[in-house]
Amino acid sequence: MMNETMNLIIAGRTKRRRRFILVTALLASIALALCCTMLMLGNTIYPVQDVVRVLLGEEVKGASFAVGTIRFPRMVAGVFAGFAFGVGGYIFQTMLRNPLANPNVIGITAGSSAAAVFCIIVLHASNMVVSIASVVGGLATVLVIFLLSKGTSFSIGRLILIGIGIQAMLNAVISYLLLISKQHDLPTAMRWLSGSLNGANMENLYPLIITVLIFTPIVIVFGKRLDMLELGEQAATSLGVNTDKTRLVLVISSVLIIALATAATGPIAFVAFLAGPIAKRLVGVGFSCIIPAGLVGIILVLASDLIGQFAFTARYPVGVITGILGAPYLIYLLIRINRKGDL
């Protein structure tokens, strides 16, 4: 009887592992296909061999500028920003055990956005200063939200409500800054706020790339502890998890990558909100969804950017398309949570 039970457990674990590997490989393949499509499509469609030659450093008439200077940085921005938003959103949703507890809803991206818009409109700062301000704004917003929601005991519901209030206040600040801005600053700020890959260049993307490459392994290492945190504070502590240290590392890591992604592309709506739930639905239980969530984030950003560029007569920023995709899900989720009385 004991052997049969062990065999069933091992078989179930093997099945879940195969599903995880299959889903991750499928998501990676879709993301790679979208990357290739972004490099090939445009006003002029270039064949795969020309794209490969450009990426290898060869000079190809027409293609070198279009692919190397315009499309490749745009694709890189979509990949790293999508991955950052997907991973950051999944971390917050899992750590706080609530699908609403993501950077878009609780005001973290609004904090980064307010700081960046202030630098653009008031200080007329460089891209590097905007990136730094975006990170500082995100971290400061997280600190304020956690301090205000602490009270006598930590409450996820209180944190979400305070975060929504902070977001509303920061959005009001952003609206005021836009109102007083000079006419020549307004297009830059509006393009940035809508969430767009337009005008991406490799020089401005290096901080985001480096941050994602450094902090993703850290997040993966803490991934097992993240799964234990989902069981609750007492259960995680009884399993030997230092919950305070784990939360601190995960919060700092996720806020940094989200803030730098926001600085690079603007606050692309709902990617952090959608990536985690989609990844968890595809992967199932038993494995961390950090990498799948990041891959889903990449797919959402790249696919939405392609739709915004080529599916309509006018061209729309990627944030407009992701907003259209995410808004109905947010309404559905709010209705479901309200019926359960979880918030």
Highest mean pLDDT out of 13-22, 232-241, 267-276 = 267-276
Distance CA 20, CA 7 (A): 20
Is 80 exceeded by the pLDDT of residue 334? Answer: no
Give residues with Cβ within 8 angstroms of 106, minimum separation 6. Answer: 92, 100, 145, 159, 160, 162, 163, 164, 166, 167
Q: In this structure, are residues 108 and 255 in contact, taking their beta carbons and an 8 Å threshold?
A: yes
pLDDT value, residue 299: 95
Candidates 116, 67, 101, 143; CA nearest to 266 is 116
- 77 pLDDT band, cuts 50/70/90, is very high
The SS3 call for residue 342 is: coil
The SS3 call for residue 320 is: helix
Distance CA 35, CA 37 (A): 5
Name the phi and psi angles at 154, rounded to 5.
-70, 130
Give residues with Cβ within 8 angstroms of 261, minimum separation 6. Answer: 80, 81, 84, 85, 88, 208, 268
| Span 266-273, average pLDDT | 86
pLDDT, tens digit, 9 for 90 and up, residues 142-160:
888 888 877 666 667 777 8
pLDDT value, residue 151: 64
Distance CA 46, CA 36 (A): 11
pLDDT value, residue 343: 52
Q: In this structure, are residues 262 and 120 in contact, taking their beta carbons and an 8 Å threshold?
A: no
**pTM attached to this predicted model:** 0.88
Distance CA 114, CA 306 (A): 28
- 16 pLDDT band, cuts 50/70/90, is confident
Show the domains of the chain with their CATH numbers: 23-340 (1.10.3470.10)
Distance CA 202, CA 224 (A): 34
pLDDT value, residue 45: 86
pLDDT value, residue 12: 61
- DSSP output for 8-51: HHHHHHHHHHHHHHHHHHHHHHHHHHHHHHHHH-SSSPPPHHHH
Is 90 exceeded by the pLDDT of residue 78? Answer: yes
pLDDT, tens digit, 9 for 90 and up, residues 284-332:
776 778 999 999 999 999 999 999 988 888 888 888 898 888 878 777 7
Q: In this structure, are residues 84 and 117 in contact, taking their beta carbons and an 8 Å threshold?
A: no
Which contacts (CB < 8 Å, 24+ apart) does range 331-334 have? 333/99, 333/100, 334/100
